[in-house]
Amino acid sequence: MKTELSFSPLAQVETELLAVTAIDTQTAKGPDVKPEPVLLTSDAAVRAAAAAVLATGEFKAGANETLLLHGPAGLKAKRLLIVGLGKKSKATAHAVRNAAGTAVRYAKPRAIRELAFALPEPPADLALDLAAASRAAAEGAIVGDFDPDTYRSERKDVSVHSFTLAAPGADQAVIRAAFNTGVIVGESQNFARTLVNEPGNKLTPTVFGQRAAKMAAEVGLKSEGYSTEKLHELKMGAFWSVSQGSEEPPALIVLRYEPEGVTEGPVLGLVGKGITFDTGGISIKPADNMEKMKYDMAGGAAMVGAMRAIALLKPRVRVIGIVCSAENMPDGKAQKPGDVQTAMSGKTIEIINTDAEGRLVLADGLTYARSLGATHLIDAATLTGACVVALGMINAGAFSNDDVTIEKFQAGLATSGEKFWRLPLSDEYYDMIRSDIGDIKNTGGRWGGAITAAEFLHAFAEDTPWIHLDIAGLAWIEDKKPYIAKGPSGVAVRSIFEWVRSYE
Residues serving a catalytic function are 285, 359
Strand partners, 326: 275
Q: Which of 80, 78, 23 is nearest to 46 (CA)?
A: 80
Contact (Cβ atoms closer than 8 angstroms) between residue 12 and residue 74: no
**Residue 395, φ and ψ in degrees, nearest 5:** -120, 145
How far, in Å, CA of 312 to CA of 308, rounded? 6
Contact (Cβ atoms closer than 8 angstroms) between residue 203 and residue 305: no
Task: Return the half-sphere exposure (C-beta side, CA atoms, 13 A cut-off) of residue 252.
Answer: 24
Q: Which of 319, 272, 330, 296 is nearest to 497 (CA)?
A: 319
**Order of all β-strands in the sheet with 251-257:** 222-226, 251-257, 318-328, 267-278, 376-381, 466-470, 396-400, 420-422
- The angle that helices 358-371 and 449-461 make with each other, rounded to 10 degrees, is 20
**Residue 244, φ and ψ in degrees, nearest 5:** -70, -15
How far, in Å, CA of 77 to CA of 107, rounded? 14
How far, in Å, CA of 245 to CA of 341, rounded? 14
3-state SS class at 18 = strand
